[in-house]
Amino acid sequence: MSAFPRVEEALEAGCGTEFTAAVARIEYRGKPVFERAYGATRGDASATPVYCDTRFDLASLTKLFVATLALQLVADGTLALDEPLWRVLPEWKHGDRAPITLRMLLAHNSGMNSGADYRAILDENVERFALHSELLAKPGERVIYSDLGFIVLGVALERATGVSLDALARRTFGGSLEFRPRFSQRAAIPATEEDAWRGRVAGFVHDEKAYLMGGVAGHAGLFGTAADVAAMTESYLGPLARGTAAMLPLNLIREATQEQASDPVLRRGLGWALKTSNDNSCGRFMDRSSFGHTGFVGTCVWADPVRDLQGVLLTNAVYFGRDAEPAPGPSLRVRFYEAMVEDLNL
């Protein structure tokens, strides 16, 4: 009998209707206690099985890796959390962007717009568009979850180091994590949405802005496994819960996983989202100190430092279309995270 009957029931029920492909990984006290793959890479004759080491389009989970790169530069003194970013982005030295700091980009309260319809920027240089797009609020005034802010963050990291974002990610995280999988690898990567512009998106980034940037961006574009996501999350959770060796100084880990910007729906740390209510995707049972993130295509991670517990769920939930009628009741993510806590009896 499975030690995780509720988790398995939730994922088996969603396979074929809420996603074609999924990998779930649960770690408790720093050790994997559950990992299983479900389904196939797509819903047609070209499908191949999904395995635990299958790589998925991580979508906005990319932001967590890029935020970690930024915090490493803070740790080594290359950047500072509270200095204006115009020091590396001289375009911002004059005007309403001059006060924007690295902390504001990481906490999504820079005032930058959330994004842009790709159809409006097809002929634009997306980096330039992000750097010069009109602010929606004064810096520091309120939370606006911003892809454009993390696109700018990627630009800032490249300028501060003289190294491409792609190379920074590979050098820092290793494993199977990468931008722009090779053509020969695409068939093994779960397909996402059927796109009137690009056809079936399979093995290249789903996010349109990242696609227009060649597949490498600060807000989306990384492909990786559930183990890749869990390893990055453990680099925060382990030092907090068990005092393990850290990739970052402990004071930065604490800042990253504590409230930096208030929002009634989802409070913000540095890169991380913080549990704010039982309506969040981590469900009712994880502690309020929990931190996590979601990705548009169906990816998510949440970690609970009180229970020393994390769960990664990678899916291709937009395969059936972003406008598909949701199943009644709690979302798949909520069902997964609530089942995880219940099955462990924590």
> Taking the domains of the chain in order of start, what are their residue ranges?
66-169
Confidence grade of residue 328 (pLDDT, cut at 50, 70, 90): confident
pLDDT given at position 326: 67
Share of residues in the chain with pLDDT > 70 (%): 99
Distance CA 262, CA 272 (A): 13
Cα separation, 184 vs 277, whole angstroms = 43
| pLDDT value, residue 324 | 66
pLDDT at 286: 98
Q: What is the pLDDT of residue 196?
A: 84
State the average pLDDT for the chain.
Answer: 95
Give how far the C-alpha of residue 258 lies from the chain's centroid of Cα atoms, to the nearest Å: 17
**Which tens digit of pLDDT belongs to each residue from 59-109?**
999 999 999 999 999 999 999 999 999 999 999 999 999 999 999 999 999
Q: What is the pLDDT of residue 308?
A: 98
| pLDDT over threshold 80, residue 191 | yes
Phi-psi region of 51 (alpha: psi -120 to 50; beta: other; left: phi over 0): beta
Identify the helix (H) or strand (E) that includes residue 35.
strand 31-39
For residue 121, name the pLDDT band (cuts at 50, 70, 90). confident
Q: Is the pLDDT of residue 329 over 90?
A: no
If you count them, how many residues does the chain have? 346
pLDDT at 234: 97
Can you tell me the distance from the alpha carbon of 193 to that of 208, in angstroms, rounded to the nearest whole number? 11
| Mean per-residue pLDDT, 101-119 | 93
Q: How confident is the model over 258-281, as a mean pLDDT?
A: 97
Q: Is this structure's pTM higher than 0.95?
A: yes
> What is the model's pLDDT at position 325?
65
Q: Which residue has the higher pLDDT, 117 or 13?
A: 13
Question: What's the rounded mean pLDDT across residues 152-156?
Answer: 98
User: How many of the other CB atoms lie within 10 Å of CB of 208?
Assistant: 21
The total of other beta-carbon atoms located within 10 Å of residue 213's CB is 23
The arithmetic mean of pLDDT across residues 149-153, rounded, is 98
Torsion region of 233: left, alpha or beta (phi above 0 gives left; psi -120 to 50 gives alpha):
alpha
Phi first, then psi: give them for residue 52, nearest 5 degrees. Answer: -65, -25
Per-residue confidence band for 195, with pLDDT thresholds at 50, 70 and 90: confident
Task: Report the pLDDT value the prediction gives residue 297, as an integer from 0 to 100.
Answer: 97
Question: Which DSSP string corresponds to 192-242?
Answer: --EETTTEE--SS---HHHHHTTT--SSS-EEE-HHHHHHHHHHHHHHHHT
The sheet that has 56-57: what strands, in order across it? 56-57, 222-224, 178-179
Of 79-88, 135-144, 240-249, 251-260, the poorest mean pLDDT is in 240-249
Distance of CA 247 to the CA centre of its chain: 18
CB atoms within 10 A of CB 292: 28
Sequence-ordered list of residues with C-beta below 8 angstroms from that of 48, at least 6 positions apart, any chain? 40, 41, 187, 188
Strands of 103-219, DSSP E: 178-179, 194-195, 199-200
Q: State yes or no: pLDDT of 2 exceeds 90.
A: no
What share of the chain has pLDDT > 90, as a percent? 89
pLDDT of residue 341: 98
Q: What is the pLDDT, as a whole number, of residue 1?
A: 62
Could you give the 3-state DSSP secondary structure of residue 15?
Answer: strand
Distance CA 340, CA 346 (A): 9
Which DSSP symbol is given to 34?
Answer: E
Name the band, by pLDDT with cuts 50, 70 and 90, for residue 291: very high
170 burial level (CB within 10 Å; 0-12, 13-18, 19+): middle
